[in-house]
Amino acid sequence: MICPKCKNRDVVKRGKRYNKSGIKQRYLCNKCKSIFIKKDGFERMRYKKKDITRAIHLHNDGLSLFQIQNHLWQHDGVKVTRRAINQWIKKYGLFLKSNKQNFTNHKRKHPL
């Protein structure tokens, strides 16, 4: 982690902040004493993180862009363009896919 203000690398974890989109790790810069939050790439999105992850999971399950668009509207009341869904898949799809793989490996090791 690098301090966004003074570019110093001497930063420490300083508790967590909870908001609508989830838990954010807070950091304190030891040099300029400013507190900042680690960016996870979802901050600038107009949509909620859960809607984006849901769309990507639906895509991984084999749904078309049109079906995903329809699902988000029917189940969550979220209006989103197919273009936006396509962008999410390109931007976050790979990252979430690897998370999913870890999860299945974990399940296999501990059968219910």
Q: Of 8 and 21, which CB lies nearer to Zn ion in the complex structure?
A: 8
Q: Does 6 bind Zn ion (CB under 5 A)?
A: yes
Amino acid found at 6: C
* Strand duo 35-37 + 22-29: pairing: antiparallel
Q: Which of 16, 31, 38, 100 binds Zn ion (CB under 5 A)?
A: 31
Among 25-33, 41-49, 73-81, 82-90, which window interacts with Zn ion (CB under 5 A)?
Answer: 25-33
Q: Does 29 bind Zn ion (CB under 5 A)?
A: yes
**CB crowding 29-59: b at 16 or more within 10 Å, else e:** beeeeeebeeeeeeeebebebebbebbbebb
Greatest Cα pair distance, the chain, in angstroms, is: 50
Report in angstroms how near the CB of residue 9 gets to Zn ion at its nearest: 9
Q: Which of 2, 5, 17, 79 binds Zn ion (CB under 5 A)?
A: 5
**What tokens were used for 112?**
């219910």
Cα–Cα dist 65/58, whole Å = 9
Among 22-30, 68-76, 81-89, 99-107, which window interacts with Zn ion (CB under 5 A)?
Answer: 22-30
Where does this chain bind Zn ion (CB under 5 A)?
3, 5-6, 8, 29, 31-32
